[in-house]
Amino acid sequence: MTLEGPTAEQLKRMREEIQEDPEMVKQDLVHLRDWLNKQPHLPHHMEDARLERFLYGCKLNVERTKRVLDTYYMVRATVPEFFRDRDPLSRDIQFSFRHMHYVPLPVLTPLGYRPTLLRLADCDVKSFDIRSLTTRIVMSLDARLLEERCLNNVMLVDLEGYTMAHYAKLSPTLAIVRKALLCIQDAFPLRLAQLHLLNTPVFINNVINLFRPFLKEKLMQKFFFHCSGYESLYEHVPREALPQEYGGTLGSVAELTERWNQKLVALRPWFLHEQLVSKSDETRRPPGGRSTTASALASGSEAHGKDVQTRPALGYPGDSSLVNGAPSEIPHRGAVRTAGSAETEGQTLRATNFCLRLSLLDVKLRAVDVSKDMATRNVLVGMQFSVF
């Protein structure tokens, strides 16, 4: 699959937005190359074209580009569960290909944004694997960095077919989910303009509120909800840029996904080489630099090169970040809270209680025939979340 580039008009608008100066870009690239060569813990092999795409994705902000580059390499060294096996022909990635649709769509929006679609291909919760899906997403983001300069992105997440058990697997109380958020939010120079949630359930606000402490405030302001139909979506993403299932003129989701998956397979030699060389050596990080690993970042004190207020975890069920019974720290990006405060403890307990409700509600809903008793389903959902 080839990702269509911007039109002349779109390219002009994008350059005006970031006030692009070709001569300044050249100077910034020389500076970044010099900076990279002086970092003993970072690889130095990134080609100029990809380095320029990092700079462009960071809106030509050199210091931000440095932070993203550092995080990009650091997570590859310290979150091996997402980066140790990037073979598109491996069992795990092929499993994800079969059970999840994830595809950057080939046509840009009128504003020059790249839409990407994520949706279930198989509603069985046993097929919903966060680790392999995250690996596949970061592989796709890497593939895009090899091909296009993209100023902004539009994410389309279709929630049709999701059960409470799916949402429980996505809970930010799980360390693997927090690590995935770190790798996708902070380790790539791909900015997000809009996040559209399609076919949203009646309790979606409760799910979003659970994630709120772990997402950047700017990101929260970019959410759009589409409960039924896609007319409101067309205001942002026209039919010409959408698959057939959403009233669009592109091919089917399955066809588009297969074409993108084959692109990843074609890049197999590059992925296998990169997983060996594109990672930091944290033992050689200069004194005074960021000293925490990605796993620590995902559960604590720093994100995207900035300090974040932290608080002790209270021991989330199933959280592998607990070591010998000692709680790790999890980040809070909202108002400053003191560790152990009643408000913080209450929020954590509500999150834990929420996950328990997800599991219990899923059992109840499985007993309800959706096609014949939607009213009963809605009543159960409302009762379950009425006091959250």
Q: Percent of the chain having pLDDT more than 70?
A: 73
Give dist(CA 309, CA 320) in Å, integer: 21
Q: What is 1-304's CATH superfamily? A: CRAL-TRIO lipid binding domain (3.40.525.10)
Which amino acid belongs to residue 93?
I
Give dist(CA 73, CA 75) in Å, integer: 6
Mean pLDDT rounded to a whole number for the chain: 79
DSSP annotation of 173: T
Grouping H, G, I as helix, E, B as strand and the rest as coil, residue 135 is helix
Q: Which residues of 338-356 are buried (b: 16+ CB within 10 A; e: fewer)?
A: eeeeeebeebbeebbebbe
297/248: higher pLDDT: 248
Grouping H, G, I as helix, E, B as strand and the rest as coil, residue 387 is coil
- What residues does each domain of the chain span? 1-304
Say if residues 252 and 117 touch (Cβ distance below 8 Å): no
C-alpha atoms less than 13 angstroms from C-alpha of 338 in its C-beta half-sphere:
2
Q: pLDDT (tens digit, 9 = 90+) per residue, 130-183?
A: 999 999 999 999 999 999 988 899 999 999 999 889 988 988 889 999 999 899
Q: pLDDT (tens digit, 9 = 90+) per residue, 250-278?
A: 999 999 999 999 999 999 999 999 999 99
- Residue 116 scores a pLDDT above 50: yes
Give dist(CA 346, CA 118) in Å, integer: 33
Q: Which residues of 153-176 are buried (b: 16+ CB within 10 A; e: fewer)?
A: bbbbbbbeebbbbbbbbbbbbbbb
> Listing from the earlier edge strand, what are the strands of the sheet with 114-120?
100-104, 114-120, 153-158, 192-198, 223-226
Q: Which residues of 260-297 are buried (b: 16+ CB within 10 A; e: fewer)?
A: bbebbeebeeebeebbeebbbebeebeeeebeeebbbb
Say if residues 114 and 3 touch (Cβ distance below 8 Å): yes
- Residue 312 scores a pLDDT above 50: no
Long-range contacts of 139-143 (CB under 8 A, 24+ apart): 139/86, 139/88, 139/93, 139/264, 139/271, 140/102, 140/104, 140/116, 140/260, 140/264, 141/184, 141/188, 141/190, 142/271, 142/274, 143/263, 143/264, 143/267
pLDDT of residue 369: 45
DSSP annotation of 186: H
Q: How far is CA 166 from CA 52, 247, 362, in A?
A: 38, 26, 9
- Residue 242 scores a pLDDT above 90: yes
Place of tokens 């809009």: 194
Say if residues 132 and 83 touch (Cβ distance below 8 Å): no
pLDDT band at 301 (very low <50, low <70, confident <90, very high): very low
Give dist(CA 228, CA 238) in Å, integer: 17
Q: pLDDT (tens digit, 9 = 90+) per residue, 7-58?
A: 999 999 888 989 999 999 999 999 999 999 999 999 999 999 999 999 999 9
Count how many residues are written for the chain.
388
H helices present in the chain, as ranges: 8-18, 22-37, 48-57, 62-78, 80-83, 91-99, 130-147, 164-169, 175-186, 204-211, 217-220, 231-234, 253-266, 268-277, 294-298, 342-366, 374-385
Q: What is the pTM of this model?
A: 0.76
Say if residues 182 and 142 touch (Cβ distance below 8 Å): no
DSSP annotation of 304: T
- Residue 362 scores a pLDDT above 60: no
